[in-house]
Amino acid sequence: QVQLVESGGGLVQAGGSLRLSCAASGGTFSRYHMGWFRQAPGKEREFVAVITRSESKTYYADSVKGRFTISRDNAKNTVYLQMNSLKPEDTAVYYCAAPKGGSSWYLPRTRYEYDYWGQGTQVTVSS
């Protein structure tokens, strides 16, 4: 099993930037694909980005593509989400997550494919 803890959320003005971090423990971090999801009040939890174990592949939701960047540092057991050009509609609780398995070539993009979740960190973007 693996435990995930997000940090870095906060209040930012539209057009600003934040970098979220997710620290992993209790497992071999480099074995896991890592994903970011977000959930706004009254909305379904939606996919944001995923990065493979080898850091060779990434995939982004259309809503954040070109603005957000996912990365990982296996030596620090940490995955990051750099968020630029933030918009009010980016306001949500952001979660990092990991699936138990998965091939090296497949990038899980739905919340049903993930088994381990962090507690979430709030991101609020003001207009």
Taking the C-alpha atoms of residue 75 and residue 67, their distance in angstroms, rounded to an integer, is 26
Q: What is the pLDDT along the chain (127 residues), one digit of tens a residue?
A: 899 999 999 999 999 999 999 999 988 888 899 999 999 999 999 999 999 987 679 999 999 999 999 999 999 999 999 999 999 999 999 999 999 887 878 889 999 999 999 999 999 999 9
Looking at residue 81, what is its pLDDT? 98
Taking the C-alpha atoms of residue 62 and residue 119, their distance in angstroms, rounded to an integer, is 25
Taking the C-alpha atoms of residue 38 and residue 19, their distance in angstroms, rounded to an integer, is 14
Looking at residue 103, what is its pLDDT? 80
Q: Give the DSSP letter string of the chain.
A: --EEEEE--EEEETT--EEEEEEEESS-GGGS-EEEEEE-TTS--EEEEEE-TTS--EEE-TTTTTTEEEEEEGGGTEEEEEE-S--GGG-EEEEEEE-S---SS----SGGG--EE---EEEEEE-
Specify the residue for token string 């009040």. Answer: 41
Looking at residue 106, what is its pLDDT? 84
Give the burial class of 63: count Cβ atoms within 10 A of its Cβ; 0-12 exposed, 13-18 middle, 19 or more buried: middle
